[in-house]
Every structure is written in C-alpha cells, then in structure tokens.
Structure 1
Amino acid sequence: MKRRTLILAATAAMAFAPRARAQGGGTMAQIKDSGKLRIGVASAEPWFYKDPMSEQWTGVGVAMGKRMADELGVEMVPVETSWANAVAGLQANQFDIMFVLDPTEERRKALSFPKNPLFYYAMGALVKEDSKAKTWDEFNTPETRIGVTLGTSLDRNVTEMMPKAQINRFSSNDEAIAAFAAGRVDAVVQFHPALVVQYSRLKIGKVLLPEPVKPVATSAGMRQEDNPEFLNWVNKTFADFYAAGVPDQLFDAYLTSKGIDPTGIPGLIKEDW
C-alpha cells in the first residue's frame, strides 16, 4: 500500500508539473505550455461579435488575437466575459489578455498595460436626425438622456464630462442602441468605429464627432506578474503591428464583411485621420 501510494503521488505530481512550471514562469510560459492564447471577448461591434446562429466570434479584437496567436504559433481561444467583469476575469486567470481595454487609472491599479497603444479612436455620438448639437457641452443639459455601456471608459468619461445630463447605463453596446431606437435615450456615446457599424444596421439618426475631437489610445489588459516576458512581447508586437497598419487592415476587413464600404471612414491609425 505504501508503494502504491508513492506511485500515485508521483503520477499526480507529474500531471500537475507542466501547469506549475507555466504559472511559475508567468503568462508567456503558460501560453507556450498549453498551446493556447486565451482572449477575453465581450459583445461590442466591431471589436467582438458573436454570431447568434453559429456562436462563432468575429471582430477586430478577435482578428487581432488570431494574428498574435499566429505569431506565437499557438491556438487563439475566445473566452466570453463582460466589460464590467474583464478585470476580475484577467486577475482570476480565466483568460490571458483582453483587447480594446482602455488603460484607465483604476484599471492600471489592477492590471498591466503595454506602453505602446493598440490603436486609436475618437468619442462619437449617435443622435437624432434633427439634432443641432456640435459640441460635447451641448449635450450637458438636464433634459438630455445619454446612453453608455456600463463599465467602459466611456461610462467614466461621459459621467465626468456631463454631470447635468441623465446618464443611462446598459450592459452592452447593442442594448444602448436598442434604447436609442426605442426613443428611451436621446443619444448614445460610443467610440466612432462602433457607431459606424451600429448606424449601418439601424439606418436612423446620424453619427457625430462632437468637438473637441480627441484621439483616444486604447490598449490591452493583462495580469500583473513579476515575469515581464509576455508584457514586453505584447508591447513590441503592438508597435510592429501599428507601424505596419495592421489595425486598419483588420478594421477595413471587418467593415467589408458586414457590407460596409470602408472608404472615407476614419480608421484606427490617428496619423491618417
């Protein structure tokens, strides 16, 4: 019995050894050991979109994850989450990275972000056809009902910029747009690439880039850890991809897949705006 116990103990130790080595070596070691790069995905076009029939995920963030997984020679695996739970999901090791996660001050306390940006976008607003607003200040009135997605950086931005307005928070971009279509909000604030896709489906209202228009750098969140190998690799890869115009390539490809002509639509490389 003692000999059998020792054998079982040794077998169990061997079974858990790869995982232990991966965790001890950080996220990069874990990815190489498992052969998988797990990316967090949360419903928000054009970044992440789950087809209701096939349940397959597509979008700019998914395509970026695939490109990065290919660079590492591993499989890309989407892991469904929400924007509000993204930080907790990363900390709990449910996934390795989440794209299009803005590095807010609060998130920096809990996650690591690369120095180089993933790409840039601008805050936009979907408003009624007869809206005369041209600046953000004109939305800051007690009568204005604004829809935003809960837990996003836009939620924080709009709350700070428009303390007089009625801020309505929704669990996803789609829910905010549905509220606009139903007349329950007067405007929906999202970043301009998302609004382009939403407007193409809705065909009501109009998309504005209210002044002042400021480029916003987005990034990707990762777990905080002592070993910087994965963080350093992501930082360099972002720089290489941005210089090569990869974000625009992926954005244009997604728009085209949705039947939207990308010509004339501001992309994700701010130097080309």
Structure 2
Amino acid sequence: MKRRTLLIAAAAVSFGAAMPALSAETGTLAQVQETGKLRIGVTSAEPWFYKDPMSEEWTGVGVSMGERMAEDLGVEMEPVETSWANAVAGLQANQFDLMFVLDPTEERKQAIDFPENPLFYYAMGALVAEDSAVTTWEELDNPEMRIGVTMGTSLDQNITEMMTEAQINRFSSNDEAVAAFAAGRVDTVVQFHPALIVQYSRLKMGKVLLPTPVEPVETSVGLRKEESSDFRDWVNTTLGTLYESGVPNELFEAYLSSKNISSEGVPGLVKESW
C-alpha cells in the first residue's frame, strides 16, 4: 500500500476513534425522524450529483436515490455539499447522514459503516484520444502516459495500485480532470463509465472505452458507525428492494435523457443487464 493511502487510513481511524458512536436513543434513524430531514452528501460529479449554476438545485442519480429514500421515511431530503476526499469525515462529524456512490473499500470500512446490499455496479473506464489503439489497462501503464484521476476516490486508490509506470495526476473533481484532458495536460482520464459517458457527451472529444479486463465494481452508501443497527438495516433493505426493481437503471437513464444523451447501447447500473 502506498504511503499516501496509509496516511489516509491512519487519519480515518484516528478520527473515528475520537468520535463517539451514537446511542440507540440518539441514532441516525431517530435523528432523521425527529428533524424531519434525511441529509445526503453531494459533490460535483455527474451523473451522480449535479448543481445547476443558475437555480443551484441539485439533481443526479444520487440525489434521486436520496429523494426516494427520504420519501419512504416521510421526511425531506436535504443536500449537504462536500467532496469525495471529505465524505468519510463529514459522515463521522454528523454533517450528513448518507453518502451515495461511495465504494466500500477496506480503508473506509475502518471509519464508517456500509449496508450489505450494493447500491449498484459500474466499471472502470478511460477517456482517451480519438486515435488511441489502447484496449487494455496494461497498455496504459507506460512512463509516457499521463493519467488523470479524481483525488480521494476509490479510482485514485485503484489506479495507484495498478499503475507502476504511468504518471498519475490527481484533481479535486471529475470536471477538473476532464478539463486537463481537453487542455492536453493529461493523456487519459480514468473514471467509472457512467461519469465518462456524461463527460464525453459534453466534451465531444476523444473516445470512451472499457479497457480489459473489465470487472463490475460494487458501489454503496456510506453511513456513520453507531450502536443501533436500525438505520443500517433500513438502508440495507431499501437498497435491496430498489436494486431488484431496476431503479438504479431507471434513474440513470432518466438523468441521461435530461441531458439529451441517448442511453441506447450504454451499460446500465445493474450488472445482470450487461
């Protein structure tokens, strides 16, 4: 494991140890019911979260999932702006109750909780030059290749572990990474395929591919560690029902449609339909 990853893990464990677990009486479910609000962490990352610059309204697959779950509890969904790098600390500090599209890495499991059921699945993709002949991850790992990733994401960790030769450039958001690609400061951008599809449709530059080997990656919902399992159990059951009903695909296709992007031929978020 790289030194940066070790430092993050140590900080997360230290932070977690300093934060007392909520008791059953003051647990998240009781808190949500008392306040009438289910707070979800949001950050600029389409198609999961998008903030309209004019109305400042948040939309996206993660937002829609939050609205569905808040409706199930009979409460209001409230977005709380954060970043991927600060998502774990934000949950621990009780700044928000859920963070959607947070991969359940072993590092994160030391500091926060995750339900057993997945939120949905996606695959690691790459935005490369139009004339690129690359088809595998191995071909991307060479000293001349400049790869852009979003700092603090599971992709950051994956690429750091996978790529021993390539130059890894880290950016604070998906948009910044793609802007660097457009400016020629990186040769490829690695993000999960749904995000890359949205970015490509806007950029109209390069091409999106799923380098081999292609493996489904499970993503989840992060929540605080606490004594009571009531909230985690409810989240777990709700996610299972939504996934089995194909809701993740439904919300993803609806978001693409809202951006005038065709979902035809695009792998969805339910791996069984790939």
* Superposition TM-score, scaled by structure 2 size: 0.91
Q: In the alignment, residue 137 of structure 1 is paired with which amino acid?
A: E
Q: CA RMSD in A?
A: 1.1
Per the TM alignment, residue 264 of structure 1 is displaced from its structure 2 partner at its CA by 1.4
Q: Secondary structure at the match of 1:132?
A: coil
Question: Secondary structure of the equivalent of 1:233?
Answer: helix
* Aligned equivalents of 1:163, 1:46: Cα separation in 2: 30
Q: Which residue of 2 aligns with 1:178?
A: 179
2:15 alignment partner in structure 1: none
Q: SS of the residue aligned with 1:69? A: helix
Query: Structure 2 CA distance, aligned partners of 1:198 and 1:85?
Result: 23
Tell me, yes or no, if structure 1 residue 249 matches structure 2 residue 250: yes
- Cα-to-partner distance string for 1:108-143 (whole Å, 9 max, x where unaligned): 000000000000000000000111110000011110
CA contact (8 A) 1:65 1:76 kept: yes
The within-5 A match list for 1:20-99 is 24-99=25-100
For the pair shown, the structure with the greater C-alpha radius of gyration is 1
| Contact 2:200/2:208 (<8 A) preserved | yes
For 1:39 and 1:259, the matched residues in 2 are separated by 26
| Partner Cα separation in structure 2 for residue 260 and residue 250 of structure 1 | 13
Over the matched positions of the two proteins, sequence identity in percent amounts to 72
- Secondary structure at the aligned position of 2:269 is classed as coil
> How much does 1:24 deviate?
3.0
CA distance in 2, matches of 1:265, 1:55: 28
> Which contiguous aligned blocks of 4+ residues in structure 1 show a shift greater than 2 angstroms?
21-25
Question: Where in structure 2 are the equivalents of 1:228-267 lying within 5 Å?
Answer: 228-267=229-268
Aligned twin of 2:127? 126
Where structure 1 has 5 or more consecutive residues not aligned to the other structure, the ranges are 1-20
Shift of 1:243: 0.4
Contact 2:24 2:228 in 1 (8 A): no
Are 2:155 and 2:190, in contact at CA under 8 Å, matched by a contact in 1?
yes
Letter aligned with residue 42 of structure 1: T
How many residues align? The count is 253
Q: d(CA) in 1 for partners of 2:156 and 2:23?
A: 36
The match for 2:225 is 224
**Does structure 1 conserve the Cα–Cα contact (< 8 Å) formed by 2:36 and 2:75?**
yes
**CA offsets per residue over residues 22-59 of structure 1, 9 Å max, x none?**
97330000000000000000110000001111111000
Contact residue 121 and residue 218 of structure 2 kept, 8 A: yes
1:141 and 1:229 map into 2 onto residues whose CA distance is 48
TM-score (norm 1): 0.91
Quote the Cα distance in structure 2 between the aligned partners of 1:151 and 1:49. Answer: 19
Q: Is the 8 A contact 1:22 1:33 kept in 2?
A: no
Alpha-carbon contact 1:126-1:195 (below 8 Å) kept: yes
Q: CA deviation at 1:167?
A: 0.3
Residue type of the partner of 1:198?
A: Q
The alpha carbon displacement at 1:263 in A equals 1.5
